[in-house]
Structure 1
Amino acid sequence: MSEEYNHPIARFHVGQAIICVDAKWPALVASSNLQVPASGPVYHVRDIEPKPWGFGVLLTEISNPVMKLSSGRVAEPSFDEDRFMPA
């Protein structure tokens, strides 16, 4: 897990309530053992991580194991902030 990261251009902040508006996960993610957000429930931002394309969020309500990511880093996978909106 990364340190807390509140970048001025991040859409959300740690502790903010958000909802998933795009729960259509790629087949690889859907077939894995990862827990993923569903449309409807309110989640809370646990951490924000910079990504090459924007930011990823970790959620208080969902905790996945640390794994080797496609970037080569070893971390808990985060979810693209574009899949969420403020609650």
Structure 2
Amino acid sequence: MGLHIGQLVVCVNDEFCDMAYQWCTDLPVKGCIYQIREIRNSAHWLTREIGLGVKLVEIVNPLAVVAVGKDKQPGHPG
């Protein structure tokens, strides 16, 4: 069973890393229902491991500006 845009999902874990609380003004809450607005493969901000991510209709945070080391480029591991 795959995910699709428009699908309703329930948050089952609302424990996030400290960075999420610094970058986001709004985060999912355990037990609440959300609607998927976008599905994408993206790199984890720290590990650079590619995984599935979703954006939710009910949660829209401002863009986060992330400092990138001079030897690193956004979207490229290492």
Root mean square deviation of aligned Cα: 2.5
Tell me which amino acid in the other structure corresponds to 1:20: C
Three-state SS of the structure 2 residue aligned to 1:29 is: helix
Give 1:33 shift: 4.2
1:57 aligns with 2:59: no
SS of the residue corresponding to residue 53 of structure 2 reads: strand
Q: Which runs of 4+ in 1 moved over 6 A?
A: none
TM-score normalized by the length of structure 1: 0.60
Q: Percent identity?
A: 28
Structure 1, unaligned stretches of length 5 or more? Answer: 1-9, 74-87
Task: Give the CA deviation at 1:28.
Answer: 1.7
Q: TM-score, normalised by structure 2?
A: 0.66
Larger Rg: 2
Aligned pair count? 64
The gaps in structure 2 that reach 5 residues or longer are 44-49
